[in-house]
């Protein structure tokens, strides 16, 4: 008895489960939202799954996801009176936001299945509500997330990891996959670097769920030299390993040079201030105290508008009416990412701008709210008047956020070979490692929709491939 406990404790210390198997039906590489959605779905179908995660903890960038999960036609939207949304409108908003570069089949899959993916999360116990306020580039309010306004990623990873635990899914942290093995043109397993050395795990199928490459500055610069020196909102493990692993197997890449910069990032530490702060009513001023954009345009356009301002910076301003209701905003303030200002004059002082100019900017916005018409920039929705002091202000600048490009997949999440243009037998992919879903710019709230929707599809497809 004692020996067993000791062995288990030692194994846990080595980050390898006791009695670790060296074979599985399916190996999932990466433990973010896509990886765990895939692993849970494949396990439900009866497949034996091992999840390999290179970092010391699970969750990747999914842990950092703040805004929400987009889905159209949900029961929660209906309950909030949003009765005129549909997968078709969701599709058109995303196409427009992605500059029509999106793969229509993949996007159709996303927009028709996101509501089902959200229901699935609810069935796993996610404490999600519909969120009022439109994100950039959207014509309907279709974000969903924790009811108290806290970040979506933490709740997402809570329910997925609890379910994975319940299903006894073998998740191994500190396990970095260095190679995908093949036999006779089919995937046959992986090589993985652990504390003990390099091991081989045999598997009939592999799901790539390794996320993007937003933390790999060399790779970002290779595809987009002008992004040299930009800070990143990404976790350090977002280095594009999956793209390199898949390329070695001859995978095709889609839109690899499409990299999103997000306009509200704190330069010194890469901390992200969620787009939902603007959706809920926040505005942006430049250092002269003037508004410079419709704050609800897509992230790429708002970023470009911001870069044209003095020093390429903006000041995001929200008020107490948001603060009172939104846990995420309260955490920005307690983490000193946003500063409390007791009055419009104090906002001007913080910005270093002429108080008269700042006052005039607020008055223009109040007028726009009252008349429901923003003459200056044509902002389509103003959910609050923004006149409830104290105000909360953050100095922001664009930072690297999402890599839209990646390995080419079809709607079954099968990875496509560059040479044959057919699926590579046994190789599947989901989430930020893939390209094509988001086109030239990702709409806020579509990443979580993507990783859960395609995570589930990849799990189903891989399970079917291995005969489950």
Compute CA 82 distance to the chain's CA centroid, rounded to the nearest angstrom.
24
CB of 187 to ligand ADP, least distance (A): 15
Out of 74, 77, 138, 210, the only residue in the binding site for ligand ADP (CB under 6 A) is: 210
Tokens 């390993």 found at: 241
Q: Give burial (CB, 10 Å; 0-12/13-18/19+) of 199.
A: middle
Closest to ligand ADP by CB, 61 vs 70, is 61
The residue among 192 and 393 lying less far from ligand ADP, judged by its C-beta, is 192
CA–CA separation, 43 and 49 (whole Å): 6
64 is catalytic: no
- CB nearer to ligand ADP: give 30 or 281: 30
- Omega into 390 within 30° of 0, i.e. cis? yes
CB within 8 A of 82, min separation 6: which ones?
A: 130, 140, 141, 142
Q: 373: which residues sit within 8 A by CB, 6+ positions away?
A: none
Nearer CB in complex with ligand ADP: 156/283: 156
The SS3 assignment for 423 reads strand
Q: Which residue in this structure is represented by tokens 């519909």?
A: 130
177 binds ligand ADP (CB under 6 A): yes
Which of 182, 326 has the CB closer to ligand ADP? 182
172, 299, 330, 379: the catalytic one is 299
Q: Which of 28, 54, 77, 131 contacts ligand ADP by CB under 6 A?
A: 54
Q: What CA–CA distances, in Å, run from 7 to 116, 131, 211, 305?
A: 42, 47, 33, 58
Q: Tell me if 432 contacts ligand ADP by CB under 6 A.
A: yes
**194 near ligand ADP, rule: CB under 6 A:** no
For the chain, count helices (H), then strands (E).
15, 20
Q: Which of 39, 49, 238, 424 binds ligand ADP (CB under 6 A)?
A: 238
Beta strands in 303-405 (DSSP E): 314-319, 339-341, 391-403
Residue of 26, 49, 50, 52 that binds ligand ADP (CB under 6 A): 52
State yes or no: residue 62 binds ligand ADP (CB under 6 A): yes
- Contact code string over 10-49 relative to ligand ADP, x by CB under 6 A: -------------------xxxxxxx--------------
Under the binding rule (CB under 6 A), the answer on residue 407 touching ligand ADP is no
Q: Side by side, which strands form the sheet with 143-146?
A: 69-70, 143-146, 128-131
Judged by CB under 6 A, does residue 151 bind ligand ADP?
Answer: no
Residues serving a catalytic function are 299
* Interacting residue ranges for ligand ADP, rule: CB under 6 A: 29-35, 52-55, 60-62, 176-177, 209-211, 237-238, 241-242, 431-433, 451
């Amino acid at each position: 008895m004692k020996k067993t406990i000791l062995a288990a404790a030692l194994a846990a210390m080595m980050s390898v489960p006791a009695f670790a198997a060296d074979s599985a039906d399916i190996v999932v590489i990466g433990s973010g939202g896509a990886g765990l959605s895939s692993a849970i779905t494949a396990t439900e179908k009866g497949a034996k799954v091992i999840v390999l995660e290179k970092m010391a903890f699970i969750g990747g960038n999914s842990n950092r996801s703040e805004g929400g999960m987009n889905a159209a036609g949900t029961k929660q939207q209906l309950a909030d009176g949003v009765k005129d949304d549909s997968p078709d409108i969701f599709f058109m908003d995303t196409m427009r936001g992605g500059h029509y570069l999106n793969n229509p089949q993949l996007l159709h899959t996303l927009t028709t299945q996101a509501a089902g993916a959200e229901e699935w999360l609810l069935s796993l116990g996610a404490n999600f509500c519909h969120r009022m306020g439109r994100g950039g580039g959207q014509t309907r309010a279709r974000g969903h997330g924790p009811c108290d306004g806290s970040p979506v990623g933490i709740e997402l990873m809570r329910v997925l990891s609890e379910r994975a635990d319940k299903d006894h899914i073998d998740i191994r942290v500190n396990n970095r996959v260095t190679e995908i093995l093949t036999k006779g043109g089919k995937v046959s397993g992986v090589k993985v670097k652990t504390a003990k050395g390099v091991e081989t795990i045999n598997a009939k199928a592999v799901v790539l769920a390794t996320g993007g490459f937003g933390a790999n500055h060399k790779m970002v610069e290779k595809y987009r030299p002008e992004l040299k020196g930009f800070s990143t909102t990404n976790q350090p493990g977002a280095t594009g390993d999956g793209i390199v692993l898949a390329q070695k197997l001859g995978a095709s890449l889609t839109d690899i040079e499409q990299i999103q910069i997000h306009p509200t990032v704190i330069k010194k530490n890469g901390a992200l201030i969620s787009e939902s702060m603007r959706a809920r009513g926040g505005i942006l001023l430049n250092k002269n105290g003037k508004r410079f954009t419709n704050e609800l345009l897509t992230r790429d356009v708002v970023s470009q508008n911001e870069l044209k301002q003095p020093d390429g910076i903006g000041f995001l301003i929200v008020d107490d009416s948001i603060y009172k209701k939104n846990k995420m905003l309260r955490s920005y303030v307690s983490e000193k990412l946003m500063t409390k200002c007791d009055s419009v004059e104090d906002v001007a002082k913080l910005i270093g701008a002429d108080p008269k100019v700042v006052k005039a900017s607020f008055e223009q916005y109040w007028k726009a709210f009252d008349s429901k018409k923003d003459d200056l920039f044509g902002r389509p929705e103003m959910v609050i008047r923004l006149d409830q002091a104290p105000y909360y202000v953050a100095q922001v600048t664009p930072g690297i956020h999402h890599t839209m490009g990646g390995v080419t997949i079809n709607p079954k999440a099968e990875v496509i070979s560059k040479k044959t243009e057919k699926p590579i037998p046994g190789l599947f992919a989901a989430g930020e490692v893939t390209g094509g879903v988001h086109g030239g710019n990702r709409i806020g709230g579509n990443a979580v929709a993507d990783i859960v929707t395609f995570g589930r599809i990849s799990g189903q497809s891989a399970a079917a491939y291995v005969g489950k």
